[in-house]
Amino acid sequence: MEYDLWLMRIEQYFLMTDYSLWEVIKNGNKACWDEKLLMEAIEKRYGGNKEPKKVHRTLLKQQYENFVASSPETLDQTFDRLQKLISQLELHEEVIQQEDMNLKLLRSLPAEWKNHALIWRNKAEL
């Protein structure tokens, strides 16, 4: 009985912390010898060929250009969403200057933040 409980707990632990390690424990550490399986694993890991990456980069650029804060969103949520978008763009080798990021955030804020944004934009030390 104790072993069954331990087994269940350790399985849950690995499932929550490192699923790929659990897969190795469960299925063994087999090498992928089949060429088709190997290519599928590479595409899954690295994201396919150049065309889907180019389309994804274009979509991310459009999202960045059209980025606006929604009114029920807090400032932290808006900032986090913008940072995530910028990180995704950087993964696609898009370089965005810090000043551009700051201005994008300030310009995207809802109307109730416009006075604050104007002050922040005009402060040299910020």
Radius of gyration of the chain from Cα atoms? 23
Please state which of the ranges 33-47, 52-66, 86-100 shows the lowest mean pLDDT: 33-47
pLDDT of 1: 74
Helices 75-91 and 98-108: crossing angle in degrees, nearest 10, is 140
| pLDDT higher than threshold 60 for residue 18 | yes
pLDDT of 20: 74
Q: What global pTM score does this model have?
A: 0.53
| 12 sits in which H/E element | helix 2-17
Q: Which residues contact 32 (CB under 8 A, 6 or more apart)?
A: 38, 41
